[in-house]
């Protein structure tokens, strides 16, 4: 027999009777048609367990549970945790913790759906991408989503695009207007679905992330000028020549795969001492 769960609108109404907190910048997704669409786009097999990060007042949570998926949820806000526990939702496990500091891989589910807190979205994303997963369906500020999915040779392309695309295959699958949330944020949002890909060895990830950021330290400068803060200029010139890349190229013109090749070539060279 199907367990009756509260509707998303009922969860919002229950929470509105309690004291609200904006301490962590929570914006609750409330449009039921959009919530259903997000779960549809996650492409979950029947009955698979799901991990949700930042459940808020539980509107997405009850949508997932109503589809028959056991749910683990990580929430930092104590008031929201207290509220969620009082709802006595079946097949729902709440972990009161900071997702940035928690070993999410130990929780279990590898299908993840989340409306990530905007102020910690990229930190949580890289934490998720650093472990094998089956699928990630994540909501971001639209500007961040566009950067994640951007192709090279576009203004939105940068170190975030490179890291996300080496560690996964991200696809922007849905745009969300501010009116889908309560309270409405001042920015548009978007949903990105990630599928597993390991395009970089795990032991290189941390060093490569530093390398990619340095390549975009000053976007108007040529790549050579950015990288010579870390490597000798002749070595940078030689590495670019080896990849048939122009000495005048800028970071946004190089694909994630060529960035990784450039990193591998320069990793063999002596770095410039920090001043």
What pLDDT does residue 24 have?
47
**Residue 272 located in a structural domain:** no
Please give the average per-residue pLDDT across 64-84, as a whole number: 95
> What whole-number distance in Å separates Cα of residue 120 and Cα of residue 99?
9
Q: Is the pLDDT of residue 249 over 80?
A: yes
Final residue in a domain of this structure, among 199, 217, 243: 199
CA 181 to chain centre: 19
The enclosing domain of 251 has a CATH number of 1.10.8.100
Final residue in a domain of this structure, among 199, 233, 256: 199
Residue 43 sits in the same domain as residue 154 = yes
- In sequence order, the 6+-apart residues with CB closer than 8 A to the CB of 64 are 39, 50, 52, 71, 113
Is there a cis peptide before residue 229, judged by omega within 30 degrees of 0?
no
Final residue in a domain of this structure, among 140, 175, 199: 199
Residue 79 sits in the same domain as residue 165 = yes
Residue 216 sits in the same domain as residue 148 = no
**Residue 274 located in a structural domain:** no
Closest by CA position to 72, among listed 101, 95, 90: 95
Residue 78 sits in the same domain as residue 137 = yes
How many residues are given for the chain?
A: 275
CA 249 to chain centre: 29
What pLDDT does residue 30 have?
87
Residue 79 sits in the same domain as residue 191 = yes
pLDDT digits (tens, 9 = 90+) for 193-243: 999 888 888 889 889 999 999 999 887 889 999 999 889 999 999 999 999
**Residue 91 located in a structural domain:** yes
**Residue 46 located in a structural domain:** yes
> What whole-number distance in Å separates Cα of residue 59 and Cα of residue 63?
7
Please give the average per-residue pLDDT across 62-73, as a whole number: 96
Residue 41 sits in the same domain as residue 100 = yes
Three-state secondary structure call for residue 176: strand
Other Cβ atoms within 10 Å of 245 Cβ, number: 16
Q: Which residue has the higher pLDDT, 275 or 67?
A: 67
Please give the average per-residue pLDDT across 33-62, as a whole number: 95
Residue 166 sits in the same domain as residue 242 = no
**Residue 100 located in a structural domain:** yes
Three-state secondary structure call for residue 266: helix
Residue 124 sits in the same domain as residue 72 = yes
Q: Which domain holds residue 219?
A: 203-267
Residue 182 sits in the same domain as residue 252 = no
Closest by CA position to 214, among listed 204, 203, 228: 228
Residue 221, both tokens:
């400068």
pLDDT digits (tens, 9 = 90+) for 75-134: 999 999 999 999 999 999 999 999 999 988 888 888 999 988 888 899 999 888 887 788
CB 5 within 8 A of CB 89: yes
**Residue 3 located in a structural domain:** no
pTM, whole model, 2 decimals? 0.88
For the CA atoms of 78, 83, 84, 88, the dihedral, rounded to the nearest 10 degrees, stands at: 140
- Tracing tokens 């949820």 back to the chain, one arrives at 73
Residue 260 sits in the same domain as residue 136 = no
What pLDDT does residue 72 have?
97
Residue 108 sits in the same domain as residue 227 = no
Q: Which of 60-64, 143-147, 221-225, 242-246 has the lowest mean pLDDT?
A: 221-225
**Residue 96 located in a structural domain:** yes
The enclosing domain of 51 has a CATH number of 3.40.50.150
For residue 273, the 8-state DSSP code is: P
**Residue 1 located in a structural domain:** no
> What whole-number distance in Å separates Cα of residue 136 and Cα of residue 148?
13
Three-state secondary structure call for residue 160: helix
> What whole-number distance in Å separates Cα of residue 53 and Cα of residue 68?
18
Q: How many distinct structural domains can be found in the chain?
A: 2
Residue 144 sits in the same domain as residue 179 = yes
């Amino acid at each position: 027999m199907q367990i009756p769960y509260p509707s998303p609108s009922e969860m919002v109404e229950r929470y509105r009777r309690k004291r609200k907190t904006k301490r962590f910048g929570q914006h609750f997704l409330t449009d039921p048609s959009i919530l259903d669409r997000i779960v549809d786009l996650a492409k979950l097999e029947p009955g698979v367990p799901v991990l949700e990060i930042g459940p808020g007042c539980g509107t997405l949570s009850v949508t997932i549970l109503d589809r028959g998926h056991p749910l683990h949820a990580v929430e930092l806000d104590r008031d929201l945790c207290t509220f969620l526990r009082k709802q006595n939702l079946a097949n729902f496990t709440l972990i009161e913790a900071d997702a940035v500091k928690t070993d999410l891989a130990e929780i279990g589910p590898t299908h993840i759906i989340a409306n990530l807190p905007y102020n910690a979205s990229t930190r949580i994303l890289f934490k998720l991408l650093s472990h094998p997963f089956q699928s990630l369906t994540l909501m971001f500020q639209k500007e961040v989503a566009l950067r994640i999915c951007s192709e090279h040779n576009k203004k939105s392309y940068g170190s975030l695009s490179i890291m996300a695309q080496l560690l996964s295959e991200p696809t922007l699958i849905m745009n969300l207007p501010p009116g889908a949330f309560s309270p409405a944020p001042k920015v548009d949002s978007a949903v990105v679905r990630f599928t597993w890909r390991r395009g970089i060895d795990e032991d290189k990830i941390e060093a490569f992330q530093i390398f990619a950021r340095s390549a975009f330290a000053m976007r108007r400068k040529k790549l050579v000028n950015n990288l010579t803060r870390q490597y000798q200029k002749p070595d940078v010139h030689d590495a670019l020549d080896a990849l048939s890349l122009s000495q005048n190229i800028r970071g946004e013109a190089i694909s994630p795969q060529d960035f990784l090749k450039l990193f591998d070539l320069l990793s063999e060279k002596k770095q410039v001492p920090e001043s």
